[in-house]
Chains A and B, each alone.
Chain A
Amino acid sequence: MSTEDSDLLRAFVLESRDLIADASESLLSLEREPVNRQAMQRLFRAMHTLKGASGLFDMAPYTRLLHHAEDLLSGLEARGEQLAPDIATTLLECLDAASGWTDGLEARGALPADAEGLAAALLSRLAAPTSKAAVAREAGSAPAGREPAWVRDLDPASRLAMETAAAGRPLHCITYRPDENAFFRGEDPLRLVLQVPDLLHVKAVTDEPWPELSALDPFQCRLVFQAVSAADAGDLEHHFRYVVDQIAWHSTGGPGSPVAEEGPVAELLDPAAADGSAATNDGAKAAPDTRQARAPVSMLRVEQGRVDLLMNLVGEIVVIKNSIPYLARRIEHGEATPRQLARELREREAQLHRVAEDLQAAIMAVRMMPMSTVFQRFPRLVRDTAQRLGKAVELIVDGETIEADKNVVEGLAEPLIHMVRNSLDHGLEPPAERVAAGKPAAGRLWLSARQDNESIIVTLRDDGRGIDPDRVRARAVERGILAPDQALALSEADAVQLVFAPGFSTAEAVSDLSGRGVGMDAVRTSVERMGGHVALRSAKGAGSTVTLTLPLSMAMSQIVIVEAGGGQIFGVPMGLVAETLKIPVGSLKTIQGREAFVLRDEVVPLRHLNAIMDLPAKANAADRSILVIRTGTELVGLAVDRICDSMKTIVKPMEGPLAIIRGFVGTTLLGDGRVLFVIDPRELM
């Protein structure tokens, strides 16, 4: 594959994902509101564009499947029918298949090996309504199953000649009615017809006689081509793959025995007739398979304006850079006093500082993505899951336009899926139970995002049965997470938090949806890995709310610089620091042989960074500087020698052999060139 080809494929992968998402969304709105014409049109457009784009590549199953999905939709539209639920489900499955194939294309540059089979299975399910649509479309020209008139009218001598030339192979009579606007799309129907493999007969006609020359518009295609070919059905299908919708097709068997076949659809569906196409596809597949699998490339699509801003900033940097040799010359010639020079240098620094800040902001903006990129999959997920569970659920999404760093947005997908499944599976009750409890039969699920300073807050709320603290306590004891007396001592709100404990699952039976004992623990782990935290509130009978708080951007982070071990400095991510304190040594308590202190009526254990890092302890001081660190839902104090400063910086993760060292988030450079280790106190403590 040449570079342009692979660029084209990459563009297709990106575009098709959007189109598939768009089509799924429209399908779901159509299901809710079958008369929504706008959704129907959007769905149709998305399918059409997707089909068109897929035609650029050699992937017949993809194009064929979408072509028939589109056909089905246009049939419904033409007959003024609504989308039946089972058809919607089939169409959604087609989109799933397309989505899976798109992933395959991205990874290997080819459709997966089972694409042909999957396409055939889906096509057979689309078939019943499609063939009706096809009949409706082709009525008048070539009713399905009967020879078109022009085939009957062929001169017997030339017919005999063709049959002789075909030597027993079936003859395919093709009526090709190019679209009126074909020329504007760069098609040349004549060339396409003349290049038909094994062409035996061709004629160009028009539906109506040609107009006066003065009224002739040469750019509006009025031609209808009639062609007969003895080529393989698959080859012909391949030849006309871009104009499948403009072809009507009739095949006759061997000499003198016309076999009625059902127009294009039957031709494509009939496995025997499709043999040829399978063969050609195998050939096409064999080549790409020899290529090595490529790792999916992470792509970023950026608004033009944001790149323009970057460009301007680069221009400013160049201007500042150009002023420096001039300054150097002045120093060389001793033209100014050191004081003047220092002032000028500081001026340049101030300019550079401003540009650097702007650049930072601009590059962050480039990495920003709307939440809708992850939210858009949920309407579908909720619908399918609810259907499978026999529950009625209404999903209310809010805040899709809120933007956050690409990594944050992408990283949210997995925990959110867990959470949504949990809510559907355990939270929301079946309709009967809800009605009995005086709630509306349809459960409600709110998914929202909002921005709060440097954080993004994603909330998932349901109005289901909530979490039963007693059941949670019992389960925690059963699982050996807590001793019975410890469990009883927990407040209701604290007991609920036990669902985050590793190895906890309240589901009575492990369902195929969630409840594999990883659920909320996995959510917490992945959110914390992104530098965020999870909070859960639940009221028995009224529902639960899970709140994820995440940094807006992971590129830049605020860190606190602390001193330990007599002069060594370390960084601590600001996101983990709940507060900083100075406590007189006298106020520290010892509980069960461990140091602790009281913070707003709560006992907080205290650890010493010096002890953890095996550094010399600080000589006796009157008070302790303490960082209060948030670890999950608990607080832990971390005593350091001194709390110095905070700074905004880019923390680089540990690489190479250092990557296995635990307890460090990464490193960053200080202004004087020293390396600052940024610790992860949660792992250290």
Chain B
Amino acid sequence: MPIAYSPGLARFEDVCGPEEAEAFLDWVRSDPRPRVDLSPGASPHAALLQVLLAARPDLATPPDDPFLAAILADLPVSPDPDGSAAAPPPSPTSNRALVS
């Protein structure tokens, strides 16, 4: 799976195609503090870029491609997800519990 979702973090790996866009948009909309990790070598499709630009989630790190980084320059970078580094197994209920 090119995008690995866990509460509060979506990790892009390798080539992420346009077919991921819908799921990613849903995740960004439902997650209260969405943060995106563009791991080195991750290459999002323009459809995903649109969601990134429209939703402006935090970035874990700037992407390693300087030009992709330039395009995403307006997105805030937050290396640490409010202290809780390791995310528990994903489940909608636990997700909500964490926030409340």
Q: Which residue numbers of A lie inside 8 Å of B, CB to CB?
A: 178, 182-183, 188-191, 193-194, 199, 201-204, 206, 210-211, 213-214, 216, 218-219, 221-223
Q: Which residues of B contact A194 (CB under 8 A)?
A: 65, 67-68
Alpha-carbon distance between A183 and B50 when the two chains are bound, in angstroms: 12
Indicate if B45 sits at the interface (CB-CB under 8 A): yes
Within 8 A of A (CB), among B33-66: 43-51, 53-55, 65
Alpha-carbon distance between A183 and B43 when the two chains are bound, in angstroms: 16
Q: Which of A199, A203, A219, A223 contacts B49 (CB 8 A)?
A: A223
Q: Which residue of A lies closest to B17 (CB)?
A: A188
Alpha-carbon distance between A87 and B28 when the two chains are bound, in angstroms: 53
Indicate if B70 sits at the interface (CB-CB under 8 A): yes
Nearest 6 pairs between A and B by C-beta?
A218-B21, A210-B54, A190-B46, A189-B46, A204-B71, A202-B67
Q: Are A203 and B46 in contact (CB under 8 A)?
A: no
Q: Are A218 and B22 in contact (CB under 8 A)?
A: yes
Within 8 A of A (CB), among B67-92: 67-68, 70-71
Determine the main DSSP class of B at the interface with A. helix
Q: Are B54 and A202 in contact (CB under 8 A)?
A: no
Alpha-carbon distance between A211 and B55 when the two chains are bound, in angstroms: 10
Alpha-carbon distance between A81 and B69 when the two chains are bound, in angstroms: 46
Q: List 6 A-B contacts (CB under 8 A).
A: A188-B18, A190-B71, A218-B25, A219-B47, A223-B46, A223-B53
Within the complex, the shortest CB–CB distance from B41 to chain A, in Å, comes to 13
Alpha-carbon distance between A190 and B55 when the two chains are bound, in angstroms: 17
Q: Are B70 and A203 in contact (CB under 8 A)?
A: yes
Q: Are B25 and A190 in contact (CB under 8 A)?
A: no
Q: Are A213 and B55 in contact (CB under 8 A)?
A: yes
Q: Are A214 and B29 in contact (CB under 8 A)?
A: yes
Alpha-carbon distance between A214 and B49 when the two chains are bound, in angstroms: 16
Q: Which of B22, B29, B49, B70 contacts A190 (CB 8 A)?
A: B49
Alpha-carbon distance between A213 and B31 when the two chains are bound, in angstroms: 13
Q: Which residues of B contact A210 (CB under 8 A)?
A: 53-54
- With contacts A178-B46, A216-B50, A219-B18 taken as known, whether A199 is within 8 angstroms of B67 at the C-beta atoms is yes
Q: Are A190 and B21 in contact (CB under 8 A)?
A: no
Within the complex, the shortest CB–CB distance from B47 to chain A, in Å, comes to 5
Q: Are B53 and A191 in contact (CB under 8 A)?
A: no
Q: Which residues of B contact A219 (CB under 8 A)?
A: 18, 21-22, 47
Q: Which residues of B contact A201 (CB under 8 A)?
A: 70
Q: Are B46 and A221 in contact (CB under 8 A)?
A: yes
Within the complex, the shortest CB–CB distance from B72 to chain A, in Å, comes to 9
Alpha-carbon distance between A213 and B47 when the two chains are bound, in angstroms: 14
Q: Which residues of A contact B24 (CB under 8 A)?
A: 218
Alpha-carbon distance between A216 and B50 when the two chains are bound, in angstroms: 9
Q: Are B43 and A218 in contact (CB under 8 A)?
A: no
Alpha-carbon distance between A202 and B70 when the two chains are bound, in angstroms: 7
Which residue among A193, A202, A213, A221 has the maximum number of chain B CB atoms within 10 Å of its CB? A213
Alpha-carbon distance between A128 and B21 when the two chains are bound, in angstroms: 43
Alpha-carbon distance between A155 and B25 when the two chains are bound, in angstroms: 33
Q: Are B45 and A188 in contact (CB under 8 A)?
A: yes
- With contacts A183-B18, A188-B18, A201-B70 taken as known, whether A216 is within 8 angstroms of B47 at the C-beta atoms is no
Within the complex, the shortest CB–CB distance from A413 to chain B, in Å, comes to 48
Alpha-carbon distance between A216 and B56 when the two chains are bound, in angstroms: 13
- A sample of 19 more A-B contacts (CB under 8 A), given A188-B18, A190-B71, A218-B21, is A178-B46, A182-B46, A188-B45, A190-B44, A190-B68, A199-B67, A203-B70, A204-B49, A213-B25, A213-B55, A218-B22, A218-B25, A218-B48, A218-B51, A219-B21, A219-B47, A221-B50, A222-B50, A223-B53
Alpha-carbon distance between A307 and B43 when the two chains are bound, in angstroms: 46
Alpha-carbon distance between A189 and B50 when the two chains are bound, in angstroms: 11
Alpha-carbon distance between A133 and B22 when the two chains are bound, in angstroms: 37
Q: Which residue of A lies closest to B44 (CB)?
A: A190
Q: Which residue of B lies closest to A214 (CB)?
A: B29
- With contacts A203-B70, A211-B54 taken as known, whether A191 is within 8 angstroms of B21 at the C-beta atoms is no
Q: Are B29 and A183 in contact (CB under 8 A)?
A: no
Q: Which residues of A contact B48 (CB under 8 A)?
A: 218
Q: Which residues of A contact B70 (CB under 8 A)?
A: 201-203
- With contacts A213-B25, A216-B25 taken as known, whether A204 is within 8 angstroms of B53 at the C-beta atoms is yes
Within the complex, the shortest CB–CB distance from B6 to chain A, in Å, comes to 20
Q: Which residues of B contact A211 (CB under 8 A)?
A: 54
Which residue among B43, B49, B70 has the maximum number of chain A CB atoms within 10 Å of its CB? B49
Q: Which residue of B lies closest to A189 (CB)?
A: B46
Q: Are B28 and A203 in contact (CB under 8 A)?
A: no
Alpha-carbon distance between A223 and B18 when the two chains are bound, in angstroms: 14
Alpha-carbon distance between A221 and B48 when the two chains are bound, in angstroms: 10
Q: Which residues of A contact B28 (CB under 8 A)?
A: 213
- With contacts A194-B67, A204-B71, A218-B21 taken as known, whether A213 is within 8 angstroms of B46 at the C-beta atoms is no
